[in-house]
A and B are shown apart, each in its own frame.
Chain A
Amino acid sequence: MASTAAVPFWRSAGMTYITYSNICASLVRNCLKEPYKSEAISREKVHFAVSKWADGKPEKPSLRSDSPE
């Protein structure tokens, strides 16, 4: 068991539990066989725009997207 260390390795790498579990989920999805695999992977698409606000002004939005290239 890798997570028996005092602080798990992924947290010391600056990841949150969410990122960690997402990577695990993605690995599991890649283990599926074909008709199910592409269907499951299609549920991994991420698309949204984030903009931070400072002093009542929006900064330039950054786009998080991995729609099919």
Chain B
Amino acid sequence: MAMAATVRREGRRLLPIISSSPNPSRSALISDELGPQGARSISTQIVRNRMKSVKNIQKITKAMKMVAASKLRAIQVRAENSRGLWQPFTALLGDAPSIDVKKNVIVTISSDKGLCGGINSTSVKISKGFYKLNSGPDKETKYVVLGEKAKAQLVRDSKKNIDLCITELQKNPLNYTQVAVLADEILKNVEFDALRIVFNKFQSVVSFIPTLSTILSPEVVERESESGGKLGDLDSYEIEGGETKAEILQNLAEFQFSCVMFNAILENACSEQGARMSAMDSSSRNAGEMLDRLTLTYNRTRQASITTELIEIISGASALTG
């Protein structure tokens, strides 16, 4: 119904043009006597243009949905397979999201492209929450941002705390080597006691769980395992070879970071495609509904104008005969 109101408004706007058209005597007669001004000569052109543009948008969103669906299928398998990479680490080192350390680094994972619902703002919101949770007088918290979208949101109010920004990740299909080089880059450029990776874990096409994975630096792991805190049973493992426990832990922490990053990036990419798919699905449905309403308005206006013309002709004819 809102649409009808718009059309009426448009019709009124066109009125000066119409009334200045040749045949002034007739239009003056109608506008004085019958109904609202310009009711008879509503232009259907505007509605027709609108319908055309809505139809085109619907086509585009449908195509984007198909693309997202096919990309999702490819990436979903890989994301689910990559879960096997971090599970052993969690079994060995545990996951300690509540650990309290000095230097926190929050790794926010987002996508480069938009039009995928709320997954980017979710991960930004969660990251900001953890930032607040982990900031204190003698603490230092920094962001490492993956993807354009989270960068754009974080620049607004916390650009002082961004340490590193990584984009253009998904130009080639994601692979482990790439993520490993990236993890290496982060490790070399950022000092940390705990890395907190925030990403959207893929649950199903319509549900994503914002997730936090915590990677501790080797020193913190050692301290925690010695104090028997959250990571108590690390001592029950025997260490083979000539390496010391610290070395083993350092290697492990580095490898754990790259594996968890790999999984997190895949899960987030998967969630992105899923979110894009459902967003595009609902927008093409919306476009369809809009098109239906527009068609209804268009037909009704057309019919009304035909009826008016018929009445005019008939009454004119009867005036002549009568």
- Contact size range, A: 35 or more
Asked if B178 lies at the interface with its beta carbon under 8 angstroms from chain A, I say yes
- Chain A 1-31, CB within 8 Å of chain B: the 1/0 string? 1011111100100001111011001100000
CB-CB under 8 A for A58 and B168, given A5-B242, A19-B184? no
Asked if residues B187 and A16 are in contact (CB atoms below 8 Å), the reply is: yes
Q: Is the CB of A21 within 8 A of B162?
A: no
- The answer on a CB contact under 8 Å between A43 and B177 is yes
Q: Say whether chain A's binding surface is mostly helix, strand, loop, or mixed.
A: mixed
Q: Please tell me if the beta carbons of B250 and A45 are within 8 angstroms of each other in the complex.
A: no
Are the C-beta atoms of B164 and A48 separated by less than 8 Å? no
Contact of B162 (CB < 8 Å), options: A1, A4, A53: A53
CB-based contact A16/B175 at 8 Å? no
- In the complex the two chains form, is B178's CB within 8 Å of A45's CB? yes
Contacts of A38 in B (CB 8 A): none
**B35 lies within 8 A of chain A by Cβ:** no
Residue of A nearest to B250 (CB): A17
User: Within 8 Å of chain B (Cβ to Cβ): is A64?
Assistant: yes
- Sorting the interface of chain B by its residue count into under 10, 10 to 19, 20 to 34 or 35 or more gives 35 or more
Are B171 and A47 in touch, CB under 8 angstroms? yes
Q: Is A35 an interface residue (CB 8 A)?
A: no
User: Chain B's nearest CB lies how many Å from the CB of A65?
Assistant: 8
B160 within 8 A of A: yes
Given A5-B242, A16-B254, A58–B175 Cβ distance below 8 Å?
no
B251 touches A17 (CB 8 A): yes
- Let me know if A64 and B181 touch, CB within 8 A: yes
Q: Which of A26-69 contact B (CB under 8 A)?
A: 26, 43-53, 55-58, 61, 63-64, 67
Closest Cβ of chain B: how far from A60's Cβ, in Å? 12
B255 within 8 A of A: yes
Q: What's the nearest-Cβ distance from chain B to residue A12, in Å?
A: 12
Residues of chain A within 8 A (CB-CB) of B176 are 43
Measured CA separation A55–B164 after assembly (Å)? 12
Closest B residue to A29 by CB, please name it. Answer: B177
A16, B187: Cα distance in complex, Å: 9
Q: How far is the CB of A8 from chain B (nearest CB, A)?
A: 7
Q: Chain B residues with Cβ under 8 A from A45's Cβ?
A: 172, 175, 177-178
A53 touches B171 (CB 8 A): no
**Is B159 a contact partner of A49 (Cβ separation < 8 A)?**
no
Closest 5 CB pairs of A and B: A56-B159, A17-B254, A17-B251, A4-B242, A53-B162
What are 8 A-B residue pairs whose CB atoms fall within 8 Å in the complex?
A18-B257, A21-B255, A22-B177, A43-B176, A45-B175, A48-B178, A51-B164, A67-B171
